[in-house]
Each structure stands twice: as structure tokens, then as C-alpha cells.
Amino acid sequence: MIDKTKILLQVSQQLETWLDYRKPRFDQIKKVEDMYFGKTLPALKGRFNIPVPILEGYVETLESKIDDQISIQFKKSRESTLKIAKKLNAAWEHDSSPDNGAYNEADLDAKKLAIFSGFGFLELIPTSKPSYKQELRAIDYWDVIAEPYGGRDLEKHLFKGRMNVPYTKQQLLDGVKDGRFISEEVKNLINNVSESEMNDVQDEFQGKLNRYIAMGLNPEQYNYIGDGVYNLVSMVSRFDGDDYYVLFSYDKQKLIQYEKLSKIFTTGLSPWTAWHTRRNPVSFLSRTDTDSIYPVAEAMRTLINQNFDNINKRNWDMVLYNAKKIMNPRQLAWRPNGLIEVKLQGNESMDNAYRKMETPDTSSITVNLVQYLNSFLGEKTGVTPGAMGNAEEDKVGIYYGNVQQAADRYGMLNKFYRQAHVEIAKRWKGNLYDHMPSRGYMVKMLGLRGYQDEELTREEVKENLGIEIVSANVEAQQDTITQKKQENAIDRILKTPELKAQVGQKWLLRNVLKIGEFSEEEIRDAMSGEEGGDNELISEAARAVELIREGEEPKLNRGANTAFIRWIINYAMDESDNLDDATFNRIYKYAVDHLSIAQQNAQLLTITQPTNEQIAQQQGSTTGPIGQLDSSVPQPAIPRGPGTNQGVA
């Protein structure tokens, strides 16, 4: 058993090492933040020192170009795991959706923070109380802890973590009750922190408060939230060859929790993952594009302010005056209808009474320099007037070129970014195994009967599957190219009888509909050959089946058609293993009872629809009578169960 004092001492020293190491780099980040938020020093009297949104424009433009959503797809490792991969994909879609984990929002936050710091830092936290959930959070770079020389691969760091982890008093007590937190340490922490100290952020952790101050806000003065919050530190640190998860109070030196990482997360992986905008194999910290933008933006801001100073000087030029002729020099200051007292001797003129000290006009020099620097930034960063939406060039040609140029500049970013999302997927899958509901995890999947519930089991989650990361924007571009090629191929097949005869008609129909961007459900309905198309009627069929399974007797549906009957029979077949004989027979009988109704409805259509002969003449097709019931609908069979020898084929 590792000594608690030793653990607390080690993580505290590691934290202090990181804070000292990061200081020069974070001082520069603070300057960039100040410029972004428009924070400037007070100007000298008569001078200008206004903020100019040069860096802000760069950041917002870059953010808009890298806001594509990343999709994670689990891939089968062998043929028998295809359905398991589909179930996991459905589970991921559910957990990451906006009304659950909101993973895309966390991803966008991490990207925004990475523009300033050079790295994105994400945390995936699972919970099973009161219900299962996995939440992805972007961690502010001011709160990040990492091994200084651990390199870009966070998982190889001997220590990592985050500061300013908020815990309420009740959450701490709940942790003690669950056996996760050390009772004595929690009690000492609560007793040693006064109400006035709650919600305070200690000096070492106050970096991000600068953003509020830059906007004229005081978060420390207005920090009342109703329930006191203890700001703790969570870290993963290596002791005697094993990684431990540690939760502690740095300022009060209280160890709240320590446990082997593998006991909390069976994958043995920390809850954090990071990605970088630039490769640095040695240091976790590295430069980012805003570091290069900052000095040029500062030069442009200085030039613009100096130009305002120049205009101000020209408006209020200094004056040389003849003290013998102008009695009161204060009268030279401009004022409405002002009079100036002058004393002249004999025939003396006003020619030499005063002279303005004219300031040269430097506006043209300033404009040329600012334009040059703006073009220089566009060339070096890819963020040009076109990318910002202000280009005067032809929008079709130059805009695409500008966007492509910006994308090329940040191609390196995606390599690390994609790998980070693979790491997130690994953690999510492990957390799902650890925390999924004991009663089963139901996912929505598209099947023969439309979207239906399928159970994902813990054993299925354990399967070793491939992970593929797809960028929505890149995928859309590739899909456009692929679709164009497919359109040309299908068009050639349709126009060449020899080729058309060599392919299956269902395959051809599916691909024609797919190119037409019909949904999978719409394609399934079209290929079923049903009268179909009435989703409400199918929904009524599904509701009737639900009522039968609940022991009720639904009324016959007077709008039933062959699609209605087939849906119910398909359901009975698909769920045969999960239905007892009595329920199976009731569902089957309910479908068969609609045969006459469906036939009558089909016959009624002949009143308002053209005959088959007319359709055949117009379309060159030959079909059976419209009023005839679809022969593909299974005819009544002997119900299964005790005393019978035949079931449904």
C-alpha cells in the first residue's frame, strides 16, 4: 500500500513543476488573449491607443474553416461482427447527440482553445447514477496539467490532469458514502474551508480569469452560485510502475481519493486525450499560428493608431507667433466667432504675425504599409480577404482557392486531431462496458420494419473492432466526386442494353435511388414492391403489434393494404424467437384478418385510378389486375404451437 503522504507530496511537486515550466509560454498566450479581447493600455494624453480587430478576424475566420464535424465509425473485424459494429455505431450516435453528450459542442470548444494554445484537451467522463451517460468536455488550457517533456502523446506522460475541478459539499459527501472518497480527508477539507473561501480560485490557477477582466468583468467579486464549490485537482500519476488516479486539494493539502487507474477505468486509459496543431516530439507545449500573427497584428495596430495621431496633429498644428503683434496668444485657439487682438505699428502688415508648424500627412504611407502587412498575413497564413468574405474578386474562382489555401495550411492539424478522436472512441467503448445499464442498452437500428430497438450486450461491447474517423466536410467532398463517377457509370449501364442485361435489377434500382439521395428507409420502402409510401399506416401496424404484446385486442384497421399486412407478418417472423406461441399466433391472426379489407381497398382504387391496360399502353409494362391481392403476401398458414405440425415458413 502506497503511503498517502508520499502520494500527496509527489502530485503536488509535479503540479508545481508544470506551473513553473509553463509560465513563459502562458505569458505569451495572455498577450494574445488580451489582443483578441481588445484589451489595451491607457493612452497618453492627446494620443490614440484603440484596439483593432486584426487578430480577432483571423481567429474567427480560422474557426469557421475548421468547424467540420467528426464522425466515428466502428468497423467489423470479421464478418460475424458486422451487426455488432452497427449497434455500437448506433450507441455512439445516441451518446454523442446534442441532447445527451453533445460531443460536437465540446469538440468545437477544444478547437477554439487550440487556436490560442496550440493544443486541444478533451475529457470523457462516464456516469451510471442516476442513469448511464458519457460527457465529453473541452478543458481550458489554463487548467491543463502535463509532463513538460512528455511530448505530444499524453498517454505516455508520467503525470497529467487538470485543475479547477469543481465539487460541491454534497458531491464530496456522496463520494464518501459510495466509498470512493476518504472520509477523514473530506471532513477535514470541509471544516478547513470557510464560506468566504468557497468558489475562490487560488493564485496559481487564476490564468483564465484574465478573459473576464479583459471584458471589464470581475468574476471573483460576483461568484455566488447558491452552493459552495471546492476547486480540486485531478491527476493521473505513476507510482512504483502503476498509474494512479488522484483527486486532491492543492492549497489545503488534502488527499480526497487515490486508486489504481485500472480499477476506475478497465481500459487502463486516463480520461484525457490531447491533440496539437504543430508537431513537437519533445515538449508538450509548442507555438501556434497566433504567435506568428501577434507581432504583425501589433505592428498594424500601432500604424493605425499613429495615423490617428497624425490626423490629430494636423487638425491642431502648433503656431509660431510674433509677440509684438499678437498681444494674447490664447486667442489663437479656435472658438466660434472668435476675435484676435493685434497691435501693428504704422503701415506694418500681418504677414509675419504668425505661422503654422504644419505636420506632414503620412496617411498614404500608413495605408500602403497596412495593405502590405495584410497581404503578407494572407500569404503566410492562408486567411485572405476572400476567406473572410470580403473579396472583390470573382467569387466562384478565387473564393475556392482561398479556402483551399487555408485548408492546406492546417492539414497537419487533422492528423493529430483524428488520432485523438480514435483515443476518445477507445475510452468511450471501455466506459460503455463499465457503466452500461444492467437491464440492457437498447439502440435504434434500421431493419426490415423500419427503425427498431435492438439490445447491445456487454459481451458484444468487448469485441475487438476497427475504428474509422471521418470528417464531415472531407467526406462530403469525396462523396461528391464518387457520386459523379457513379452517375456516369449508371447512365452508361442504362443506355447500353448489353450492360443492363448483366446486372441485377434490384442492384440497379438501389443505386439509382442512392444517387438520388433517398434515405435508406425510403430505398427500403421503394424496393419492397409494396403499395407502400404511407408511413402513418405502418406506424398504425406497429402500434397494433404493441397492443397485442401488452395483452390487448386492437381493432381492425379499415385502411389496411398489403404493406400493412406484410409489415405485421415480417415482425412476427423476425421476433419469432422472442415471442411465446400464443402471442405469435395472435399477431399472425391479426394480419390474416386484414386480407379481405386489403383486397376491398385495392378494388376501390380502380374507381379513381386508370386500368392496368391503360398503364401498360403508356409505360409498356404488363401487370396483373389492380384489384388482385399481391401474391407475395403469405396466405394463411396453420398456427404454430402445441398440437400443430406446421409453422410459418
* pLDDT confidence band for 500 (50 / 70 / 90): confident
Average pLDDT over residues 596-620: 66
Average pLDDT over residues 621-634: 43
pLDDT score, position 176: 96
pLDDT score, position 408: 43
Q: Which helix (H) or strand (E) holds 423?
A: helix 411-435
Whole-number mean pLDDT of the chain? 81
pLDDT score, position 99: 87
pLDDT score, position 417: 86
* pLDDT confidence band for 313 (50 / 70 / 90): confident
Backbone angles phi, psi at 42, to 5 degrees: -60, 140
Indicate the burial class of 15 (C-beta count within 10 angstroms; 0-12, 13-18, 19 or more).
Answer: buried
Give the whole-angstrom CA distance, residue 86 versus residue 75: 8
Average pLDDT over residues 292-315: 90
Residue 635: inside a domain, yes or no? Answer: yes
pLDDT score, position 428: 96
Average pLDDT over residues 149-173: 93
Q: Which of 485-489, 531-535, 575-579, 593-597 has the highest mean pLDDT?
A: 593-597
Residue 255: inside a domain, yes or no? Answer: yes
For residues 518 and 389, the model is more confident at 518
The answer to whether 108 and 118 have CB atoms below 8 angstroms apart is no
pLDDT score, position 64: 80
Q: Worst-scoring range by mean pLDDT, 121-125, 284-288, 410-414?
A: 410-414
Q: Which helix (H) or strand (E) holds 273?
A: strand 272-276
Nearest by Cα to 62 from 288, 376, 274? 288
The per-residue pLDDT for range 552-596, each reduced to its tens digit, is: 999 999 889 888 898 899 889 888 888 899 999 999 999 999 999
pTM of the model: 0.71
The position carrying cell 505592428 is 299
Residue 56: inside a domain, yes or no? Answer: no
Could you tell me what percent of the chain has a pLDDT over 70?
A: 79
Give the whole-angstrom CA distance, residue 374 versus residue 247: 48
Give the whole-angstrom CA distance, residue 272 versus residue 51: 36
Question: Which parts of 316-410 fold into alpha helices (H)?
Answer: 363-381, 385-388, 395-409
Q: Worst-scoring range by mean pLDDT, 113-117, 125-129, 429-433, 452-456?
A: 452-456
Q: Which of 170-179, 388-397, 597-606 has the highest mean pLDDT?
A: 170-179
pLDDT score, position 198: 62
pLDDT score, position 450: 61
The answer to whether 26 and 207 have CB atoms below 8 angstroms apart is yes
Q: Which of 378, 410, 443 is the last residue of a domain?
A: 378
Helix (H, G, I), strand (E, B) or coil at 137: strand
pLDDT score, position 627: 38
Range of the domain at 585: 528-649
pLDDT score, position 470: 79
The answer to whether 284 and 150 have CB atoms below 8 angstroms apart is yes
Instruction: Judge whether residue 269 has pLDDT over 80.
Output: yes
Domain identity same for 329 and 273: no
Helix (H, G, I), strand (E, B) or coil at 152: coil
Indicate the burial class of 558 (C-beta count within 10 angstroms; 0-12, 13-18, 19 or more).
Answer: exposed
Residue 420: inside a domain, yes or no? Answer: no
Written as nine digits, the cell of 18 is: 508544470
The per-residue pLDDT for range 336-358, each reduced to its tens digit, is: 888 888 888 888 888 888 888 88
Query: Residue 474 CA to chain centroid, in angstroms?
Result: 16
Give the whole-angstrom CA distance, residue 491 versus residue 70: 33
Domain identity same for 106 and 195: yes
Question: 592 Cβ partners below 8 Å, 6+ apart?
Answer: 565, 636
Question: 165 Cβ partners below 8 Å, 6+ apart?
Answer: 231, 232, 233, 234, 247
The answer to whether 164 and 123 have CB atoms below 8 angstroms apart is no
Helix (H, G, I), strand (E, B) or coil at 525: helix
Q: Which of 268, 286, 304 is the last residue of a domain?
A: 286
pLDDT score, position 16: 95
Count of structural domains, the chain = 3
The position carrying cell 468536455 is 137
pLDDT score, position 397: 42
Domain identity same for 222 and 304: no
Residue 98: inside a domain, yes or no? Answer: yes
Instruction: Judge whether residue 173 has pLDDT over 70.
Output: yes
- By DSSP bridging, strand 318-321 and strand 133-138 are unpaired
Residue 71: inside a domain, yes or no? Answer: no
Give the whole-angstrom CA distance, residue 289 versus residue 117: 9
pLDDT score, position 638: 46
Domain identity same for 211 and 114: yes
Instruction: Report the 10 Å Cβ neighbour count for 397.
Output: 10
Instruction: Report the 10 Å Cβ neighbour count for 555.
Output: 7
Domain identity same for 295 and 228: no
pLDDT score, position 624: 41
Domain identity same for 259 and 241: yes
Give the whole-angstrom CA distance, residue 566 versus residue 578: 19
Domain identity same for 533 and 636: yes
Q: Worst-scoring range by mean pLDDT, 10-24, 118-132, 616-630?
A: 616-630
Instruction: Judge whether residue 275 has pLDDT over 60.
Output: yes
Domain identity same for 204 and 329: no
Domain identity same for 613 and 648: yes
Instruction: Judge whether residue 539 has pLDDT over 60.
Output: yes
For residues 60 and 526, the model is more confident at 60
Nearest by Cα to 636 from 594, 608, 603, 598? 594
Residue 221: inside a domain, yes or no? Answer: yes
Q: Which of 63-77, 425-439, 632-646 has the highest mean pLDDT?
A: 425-439
Domain identity same for 253 and 333: no
Instruction: Judge whether residue 644 has pLDDT over 50.
Output: no
Average pLDDT over residues 209-218: 76
Quote the radius of gyration of the chain (alpha carbons, Å). Answer: 37
* pLDDT confidence band for 129 (50 / 70 / 90): confident
pLDDT score, position 329: 87
Written as nine digits, the cell of 475 is: 467526406
Q: Which of 286, 313, 338 is the last residue of a domain?
A: 286
Domain identity same for 19 and 161: yes
Residue 72: inside a domain, yes or no? Answer: no
Instruction: Judge whether residue 388 has pLDDT over 80.
Output: no
pLDDT score, position 614: 53
Domain identity same for 180 and 256: yes
Query: In Å, how far are 20, 32, 213, 356, 568 from 25, measured between CA atoms?
Result: 10, 11, 20, 50, 66
Written as nine digits, the cell of 299 is: 505592428
* pLDDT confidence band for 114 (50 / 70 / 90): very high
pLDDT score, position 18: 96
The per-residue pLDDT for range 215-224, each reduced to its tens digit, is: 777 766 666 6
Measured over the CA atoms of residue 607, residue 613, residue 617 and residue 623, the dihedral's sign is: positive
The answer to whether 31 and 11 have CB atoms below 8 angstroms apart is no
